[in-house]
Amino acid sequence: MNLWQPDFQMRRFIIPAAKPTGLGWQKLPAGIALSLIAACLATVSVLRARSAQNPALPPSQINPAAQALLNQAIQALGGSAFLNARTLSSTGRIFSIADGVTQGFVQYQSAMEFPDKRRLSYGLGSKKGVTLINSGDQGWEIDRYGMIEQSQKQVERWKLANRYSLENLLRLVIHEPGTLIQKGGQDFVDNLPALIVDIIDARQVDVKLYLNSQTYLPMRIAYRLLNPQSHEWDEYADVYVDYRSIQGIQTPMHLIRYLNDERVAETFRFQVKYGETFPPGFFQPGG
């Protein structure tokens, strides 16, 4: 939609009403007339601002060859079972890595409600020292000293990783208006041949989905964003390996996180369960 269209339509509505018509308009006190004009102008400004903030986006454009690859990937993951799974619970270990050296690990217990809710508790032994809760744009951190709100940086980091997760990429992102999807070339991931699907999402982020050329299971999701502080590109990548069939869904049990080609974290899942029901308020601080 043209950005000026709401303004033009409003003028068609305003001008006849504001046109002098006999003595009725002339008898209006000056203060009332000015108030009416100001109100009309304010309405036009609001409509124009809304149009600028929410420009109409074209529907997603998917190359037929790329669509075929996406369909094969979704079927390989479990088809409708994968697409309809609303929750994911898991336990395991998370390893922190810096300069190629493992810095430490924690045991974790995680609960996810797609698309944007999680509750992650981690620590050592049976004591889960820290709990992170995220729900949309909100986030909290709970430890033995009490509860605080997550920093904006923490929340944004979680939202970024969650948006381009395996589940949300294939369920939501590829269907957003303004998305362009094409079949890419071929490459190798961990010495295995991979087919590439190139995605430019609605936020103009360049995403590459790597699929195993034999099984069509996702092997790697890579994307990059401009760092607002350094004004340089940050390259993110998540690698998915060790798939196992759980409740009819092919589930990666080993996840590796890269930042600028450096391995920064690894997650090993020991147990996974889909479809668990969580109590009301579970993804709130008091849950």
| Helix extents (H) in the chain | 5-18, 23-26, 30-53, 64-77, 80-84, 152-163, 166-171
- For residue 21, pLDDT beyond 80: no
> What whole-number distance in Å separates Cα of residue 64 and Cα of residue 87?
31
Instruction: List Cβ<8 Å contacts ≥24 apart for 184-187.
Output: 184/208, 186/213
Please give the full DSSP string across 23-37, using - where no structure is assigned.
Answer: HHHHTS-HHHHHHHH
pLDDT (tens digit per residue) in 146-155: 999 999 999 9
Tokens at 107, concatenated: 């045991």
Q: Where residue 125 falls among pLDDT bands split at 50, 70, 90?
A: confident
Asked if residue 87 has pLDDT above 90, the reply is yes
* Residue percentage of the chain with pLDDT more than 90: 71
Q: How much is the pTM?
A: 0.79
Residue entry with tokens 């036009």: 44
Residue 82 clears pLDDT 50, i.e. is over it: yes
Q: Which residues contact 131 (CB under 8 A, 6 or more apart)?
A: 119, 120, 121, 141, 142, 143
CATH class of segment(s) 61-115+154-274: mainly beta
pLDDT band (50, 70, 90) for residue 28: very low
Q: Work out the number of other CB atoms within 10 angstroms of the CB of residue 63.
A: 14
Beta carbons within 10 angstroms of residue 73's beta carbon:
21
What residue ranges do the domains of the chain occupy? 5-53, 61-115+154-274
Is pLDDT of 118 > 80?
yes
Cα 267 to Cα 106: distance, rounded to the nearest angstrom: 10
pLDDT in tens, 175-228: 999 999 999 999 999 999 999 999 999 999 999 999 999 999 999 999 999 988
Which amino acid would we find at residue 83? L
231-258 per-position pLDDT tens digit: 899 999 999 999 999 999 999 999 999 9
